[in-house]
Chain A
Amino acid sequence: MGNPTIEGVREAMRALARQVDVLPAVGGALQEEERPDADERVEQILGRDEKLFEANWETDANRLYRPLQPIPRTEQHLYRYFQDGSYRSYFLGNLLEHDRETPVLFAQIGACQMCRRGDDGSVKPARIEVKPFLFLALDRVSEPVRNTLLQTTQANGIEVVDLEEEDELTQRNPADLRLLAQNKVRYKMHEIEVGLVQAWLDAHEGEAWLMVDGSLMFTNLLNRFESNSEIPHVVGVAKNFRKNPQFAVGRGARQERYSLHRLLAGLETWHRTTVFGAREGTVLFWYIRLRPQGQMDYPLMGVIKVELINPSKRKVDSGLIDKLSRALIAERNATPHGVDRRWHAHLYPIFLTERYVQNQFLSREVIQQALRWR
């Protein structure tokens, strides 16, 4: 028996080919390469309306930099859960109908939460969701074609996504739809991730924290919290981040402006910056240097950006920030050095989670051979 996802997509492709002209991708499905600075692009989009960030969002904001010592798991096991998402998308071809055309992409998108055991530090999957999607601009095909597509895909659990539908990462743009598709795919991944975070928050109490790869500044996540909600036990950890923000440190006449590069140039190993506020303090963030600057190729390597949801928009306890940061420093080893170019800021349990998700996908070889318009 064939794979239902593959069979579902092939059935949809056959149905479409009967109704419209098709320019297939040469050689079959072409994998869309994920751009290396995706985290940075996401942050740029999400924070496009904010360029200046104020400090003074913690109870002890007198120091720009604070020294820390790592808390190992054996002393205090703070981060028990780790979440990451991944996707693989494939350009299948273009549908042509009169003077209209739309690219068609197939993507496998997934997210997973890993749980780490306390006794030996081994990890196992706790929650996972992997879904197949087809992306195209629905307005660019006629209604019969749309109906055919929806009928054939829904029966096989494949979600059809309109490329021209706006979301936080994409805006309606008549520019190349295929470029737009990357952000759409990424947004769908974040939707799945937000669902997992919500499920975790509903199910867990106590001291354990969830570490999520990437930014937490998604409206559908932030809207979940009332202004009187406690700080959820979730941190977002970004390995890469936008380079153009400005930071205002201090008050009144003594306030100083810092660029990111100036801010991080003074950040020493196992130190954190003071806490800054985004979205009027709904999200707090700071930077931590995990590894000695001299061992890195350039100064921004080895630094992570940490985000915390702050529903009350009040100053947060510096002791909490220190604790979260110390536990993060303890996560610096092992590393995916040699396997991932982002190794210097890529925390190992997140790396494992990402790999686990990717291993759930059908292989590139299977997709490229199976999904061809013949």
Chain B
Amino acid sequence: MEPQAIHSADASTNGTQQRPQAIIGRVSATANQPSSSEQFYFWLEPRVIVNPFDIVETDQVSATRDRRSKTYGIVITLEHSTDAASHLSNFIANDFGSVDVEANTPRQGTTVARAVVLSNSEDIYMPAPNDSPVRFADAAGIHRALGIDQIPEQYRVPAGVIQMSNEEQAVVYLDRRYLLGPEGAHVNISGISGLATKTSYAMFLIQSLLQTAPDRDKIAVILLNVKHGDLLHIDEPGEPDDATRQMWEAMGLTAEPFSEVRYLLPWGKHSHRDGKPNSFSIPNQNWRMYAYSLQDTYDKLDLLLSQIPDPNDTIGSLIGEIREGLGGSTWAPSGKWANATTWNNLLNGEPLAKNGQPQQIGDVRAVSVGRFRRLLRRIVQTRQSGIFVEQRNRDAVKLSEEVAKIRGGEVVVVDIAKLTDDEQTLVFGDILRTIYALYAESDETEIGDTIPEKVIIFVDELNKYAPPRESASPIIEQVLDIAERGRSLGVVLFGAEQFRSAVHPRVVGNCATHVFGRTGSTELSDAAYRMLDADVRMSLTRLEKGEMLLAHSPFRQPIKIRFPRPAYKQEGVP
């Protein structure tokens, strides 16, 4: 099947025939700026409009006589130059600074575009010859330029639409083997909050993956809701306008909400009374509340306290002692730990404290135990949001158990929007650890059968969990494990953050797909954006909502795409 083109038909031929593209300029190779295998320049015919990220083609030599191959390039930047020797010349040419003067003959100038080579139709990377005609690429040409025509149809995932200055549009497909493995995996999305539409794009891409997957029932998704009620109604239909619906349909997708969704919402301080979760919004159906008793958390205290500096591993040692005392891998408090079955007992009773005084535990001195008690009390009692309970009642579930039940075809949304930072780290780490253990410890017969073949985990504010620190913490190690080894297990991370520079480089570096929304100029000066050409980098400051820059391993250069708004009910959207 030919790649889908949204709008490339000639109305006069009833849409059945490709019209030859008009020449928009010619290649210009000079002594100072020659063409090369990597880029070429071309001047534009006056009145032609070209923008950065337009994809163009130019004639090139061919191995076959009497034929021409085509070299495809993507416009990176445009410059307008004239024969004025200096700005002073222009000032003088306006009667020495008159703003009212109109020249009888306007100064000669031309706009020159720099295009980076994407591909050649015959794999010939000779420099583009001078004066070679340049045209906009049509939809099929765009696909050839990006290598999409080489992606087998069953692996194509619609990822947005390229819209060019000549109104040509083409669907951009990613290669599923580089999204979910085995060739590559993981996606990182960055950009300014509120402008970059990171969550919207992630949700669109996940929906696209699910709708086009031949094995939809073997893929599961876990979404973390970190902001208001953004993702708490993804199974309820929204009201997309016609333009949004058309964009979905043009990509062969259906503008519809997610299906088979269940929500896990945090227990709150008043949940035992009113039965409501501690969430900004409550989904219409399929939701449960989760809470953490000591029994649920004793083997995850390292995650809970991962933000606490612990250079001498004092806290780490004590956590180990507690874990062992409470049963190790299976909950079974015994010995001096027999009574430490609730948070209160643990914090205020033996063996950590006696008569209100902290006690030495193993090699950990009492003063350190006292510090540990203060920290833990702050997190689970005095400043907690409500998810820590002495005992879970029947209305509260254990998060890891619920996550571990995940089935293929299912979408699980875990709400952490109202949790504190430490609680959010615990929940995210709990999910990662649970999923990682699920895949690492299962045998091959279980995967694809009772366990989904692939699980996609989407989290925003990834910088909170994987900052670029030298010293590792349990949560950083967990995220690094997923980033570096998750692909082979079938665990895929879709991470988003405002500042890419604030995320651990090994996490970002293992992503096969990078998506950039609008970004500030200060952030762009960081080395995290070194992968982008300087002109491309600056274009990030001008992206609109709904526009993203997409860098995908099989593509030679990043491209700009537009994507449709989500089709589920969104908070605050009329």
Residues of chain A having any CB pair with chain B under 8 Å: 72-74, 79, 116, 120-123, 292, 295, 330-339, 348-349, 352, 355
Contact = CB atoms under 8 A, between A and B. Distances in A.
B1 interface: no
A117 to B, nearest CB: 10
A350 to B, nearest CB: 10
B514 to A, nearest CB: 43
Nearest to A365: B31
Closest 8 CB pairs of A and B: A338-B85, A337-B89, A334-B93, A334-B107, A333-B103, A338-B89, A73-B104, A335-B93
Interface stretch (B94-102, B183-191, B548-556): B94-102
24 contacts: A72-B104, A74-B102, A116-B104, A116-B105, A120-B106, A121-B105, A122-B46, A122-B106, A292-B96, A331-B104, A332-B95, A333-B93, A333-B95, A334-B105, A334-B106, A335-B93, A337-B84, A337-B85, A337-B92, A338-B86, A339-B85, A348-B103, A348-B107, A349-B105
Nearest to B82: A334
Given A333-B94, A335-B92, A335-B93, A348 B105 contact: yes
Contacts of A336: 83, 89
Nearest to A347: B105
A72 B89 contact: no
B105 A352 contact: yes
A72 B105 CA distance: 10
B367 interface: no
Contacts of B86: 338
B16 interface: no
A333 B88 contact: no
B522 interface: no
Interface of B: 46, 83-86, 88-90, 92-96, 101-108
Contacts of B96: 292, 295
Contacts of A355: 83
Contacts of A73: 104
Contacts of B107: 334, 348
Q: Which of B83, B94, B101 has the most CB of A within 10 A?
A: B83
Contact of B89 (A74, A120, A292, A335): A335
A177 B296 CA distance: 107
Contacts of A116: 104-105
Contacts of A349: 104-105
Nearest to A82: B105
B92 to A, nearest CB: 5
A330 B103 CA distance: 8
A83 to B, nearest CB: 14
A334 B103 contact: yes
A295 B96 CA distance: 9
A291 B338 CA distance: 102
Contacts of A331: 104-105
Contacts of B106: 120-122, 334
Contacts of B92: 295, 335, 337
Contact of A121 (B84, B85, B88, B104): B104
Contacts of B88: 337-338
Nearest to B46: A122
Contacts of B103: 121, 333-334, 348
Contacts of A122: 46, 106
Q: Which of B90, B104, B108 has the most CB of A within 10 A?
A: B104
A352 B82 CA distance: 12
Contacts of A79: 104
A337 B85 CA distance: 7
Contacts of A330: 104
Contacts of B93: 333-335, 337
B286 to A, nearest CB: 65
Contacts of A333: 93-95, 101, 103-104
Q: Which of A79, A295, A348 has the most CB of B within 10 A?
A: A348
A334 B102 CA distance: 9
B83 A339 contact: yes
Contacts of A335: 89, 92-93
A123 B107 CA distance: 10
A137 B89 CA distance: 45
A55 B561 CA distance: 73
Nearest to B101: A333
Contacts of B104: 72-73, 79, 116, 121, 330-331, 333, 348-349
B44 to A, nearest CB: 14
Nearest to A123: B105
A235 to B, nearest CB: 15
B81 to A, nearest CB: 13
A352 B106 CA distance: 11
B88 to A, nearest CB: 7
Contacts of B89: 335-339
A301 to B, nearest CB: 12
Q: Which of A336, A337, A339 has the most CB of B within 10 A?
A: A337
A338 B95 CA distance: 15
Given A337-B88, A338-B86, A352 B108 contact: yes
Nearest to A350: B105
B130 to A, nearest CB: 13
A335 B108 CA distance: 11
A331 B101 CA distance: 11
Nearest to B98: A333
A292 B102 CA distance: 18
Contacts of A72: 102, 104
A335 B91 CA distance: 10
A32 B96 CA distance: 35
A68 to B, nearest CB: 15
Contacts of A338: 84-86, 88-89
Contacts of A74: 102
A88 B90 CA distance: 29
Nearest to B90: A334
A119 B111 CA distance: 20
Nearest to A339: B85
A40 B534 CA distance: 51
Nearest to A333: B103
A72 B92 CA distance: 18
Q: Which of B83, B86, B90, B105 has the most CB of A within 10 A?
A: B105
A79 B104 CA distance: 10
